[in-house]
Amino acid sequence: MSIIHGDHREDAHFLLANYLRVVLHQKLVPKLCDCAAAMPEEKKIQVISEAYERTKGVIDLEVTDNLREAVGCSACNGLGYKGRLVAHETMVIPSDGEDRDLFSQAYREHRLNLTSDLNKSNGIDYISRQETFCNLLKIGLMDWPSVLKQIKS
């Protein structure tokens, strides 16, 4: 809001409170090459536990069999990664109805300052980046060291 001229700030607030539908933040992350291998059972147990602890349960990999790790081949120049994936963080606000009213009210009352404010009680459907990482791990397109690096940065 600080970049919007004072004369137009009121209009900008009105537009955000009443017409904002989606906020999407995307980040490109390394994709495992096809040469990636299934993670050995012992390591899997360790990673599942570490992921759960570090993300306070957001990354829960208990029920997946697709955890993979980087290997390296001629196609990826021995790196184990080839190409990029989009890891998104998404906030969706309904266009009308009670949820819209909840959001508009929360916005006007400046109650949307923290990530923890992005929830159903404020009319918002929110998918965190950690939830996205969890799904990318579960389908074997990302490995745990890459996710860990993203979480730390």
76 binds Zn ion (CB under 5 A): yes
Closer of 33 and 102 to Zn ion (Cβ)? 33
User: In the window 28-57, what residues touch Zn ion (CB under 5 A)?
Assistant: 33, 35
Closer of 33 and 142 to Zn ion (Cβ)? 33
Strand segments, DSSP code E, in 4-141 are: 22-32, 37-38, 68-69, 81-92, 125-127
Q: How far is CA 124 from CA 13, 44, 53, 97, in A?
A: 17, 34, 26, 12
DSSP string, 93-128: --SSHHHHHHHHHHHHTT---SGGG-SGGGT-EEE-
Closer of 73 and 127 to Zn ion (Cβ)? 73
Of 40-48, 51-59, 65-73, 131-139, the segment contacting Zn ion by CB under 5 A is 65-73
70 binds Zn ion (CB under 5 A): no
The binding site for Zn ion (CB under 5 A) comprises 33, 35, 73, 75-76
